[in-house]
Every structure is written in structure tokens, then in C-alpha cells.
Amino acid sequence: MGAIFRRESGMKSNQVLGIIGGMGPLATAKFFEKLVKLVPAEKDQDHPRILIDSNPKIPDRTDAIFGNGPSPIPAIIKTAFSLKNCGAGFLAIPCVTAHYYYEEIQKAVDIPIVHMIRETAERYISDFAEKRAGLLATNGTLRAEIFQNFFPPTSLIVPDQDTQTDFVMKAIYGVKSGELAGSKTLILKAYEKLISSGAELIIAGCTEVPIILNSEDISIPLLDPLTVLAEVCVERMLNLK
């Protein structure tokens, strides 16, 4: 984590990033903050252009996965085309659960979408492959096995049902409602449960989690997909990848 980018003399950024945001709004804001802090800029004009469509009207992804609500796919695709029409050259979705629908969305949109989970899995394999990872994620992400589809078998530890219900989901939706202090207390309880189950690494498997949990809060490494996504996007915007 914590990639350092150095701007070479004469380097230009010409890939405009479009962010399919609003899932949720605070996670989108956190992602934008990470992007800005990663860019090696000395003045405003050194930053690349970034387009954000924060669309909180996109239907809840977990509800859709459980069959309790409408599919978010049409709204996400509409948002993607809105960003493309405004000049985006590639897209990012700072929502883990939305990646359950990645293939259908990418098939419908003719500009690249960075796959946050695939990039995170590659980071895990390169930096943390010997560590078992405790996963903090939504019920929808766990039901769809979004991480399991990309991570090595047996590498992930998920919370037991009581921990998932009483701590993880309450914390995630607490962030969405602005209850940050109480949500932090809940997510730390979930972290302690994962530690007792053998976790040697924590994956912030929902983009609300890094709003209330950072590496200083815990005694083992934290792998944050939102940070990985930000690093990959900055590399692309600065033509480093």
C-alpha cells in the first residue's frame, strides 16, 4: 500500500477518469480524496481531470442480490454512459458489491472499467499471499462470493452469522447514515472476532469500511480495495500503466 508516484518532467495526463459514484456518497468522496492525495502535484493544474457522477438513486446492490429489490444494472449503465459522453476515457466503481454485476456492465459500456476486486486480488497475491485474510464486507458481497472468485482457495476468513449481522452490516449502514463513531466501534468488534478466528490480514471489503477503519486502528495489515483502485486509476491517468 501507499504507492508513491513521481511526475516526470513533461509528463501529461490525458486519460480522463469517470467515477460511477453514490454507492454510497461518503465512499465516493473518500475515493476522490485518495486520488487527489496520490497525484504528485505542485499546483491545481498538475492534477488530471476527473469526472464524478454521484448517483445515490442506484438501487441497493445487496437487496438486489438477495432478490429483495430491483437490479442496479440499468442505473449503473446509464451513469457510465453519462460519464463517457462527458469525456471519460475509463471508469471506476468505488463499490465492492456492485462488482457482482461487472461483466454485464462492462459488456454494455464500450470504455474500460477498472475491476477493483481483480486488482485487489493481484495485490494480495503479490504482497500478502502467506497471510489468511479476514473479510469485512456486505451480506451481498459474501452471498455472491465476489472475493472468493478471485482470491486463492482457503485464503479468506468470513465472519460468523452473528458477527456479520450485529457488527458488520450495522457498521456499514451506519456509515451510510452518518453514524461514524458508533460504526467504528462495531467494525472494531468484528475485527476482533476475525482475529480470534485466525485472521492475519484484514480486507476492507466494502468501501464504507475504510471510512471508519484504517491501518492505525488494528494490529495486523489492512488491505483496502479502495486504495488499490485509486492507485491503479492514478497510474492510468498519468500514463504509468
Reference 226, options 37, 94, 125, 97; nearest CA is 94
In the set 206, 213, 222, 238, the catalytic residue is: 206
Whether 206 sits among the annotated catalytic residues: the reply is yes
Whether 95 sits among the annotated catalytic residues: the reply is yes
CB neighbour burial string for 140-164, b if at least 16 within 10 angstroms, e if fewer: bbbebebbbebbeeebbbbbeeebb
CA distance 193 to 159: 7
Cell digits of residue 142: 459474501
* Non-local CB neighbours of 125 within 8 Å, separated by 6+ positions: 152
In the set 58, 65, 95, 237, the catalytic residue is: 95
Tell me the catalytic residues.
Answer: 95, 206
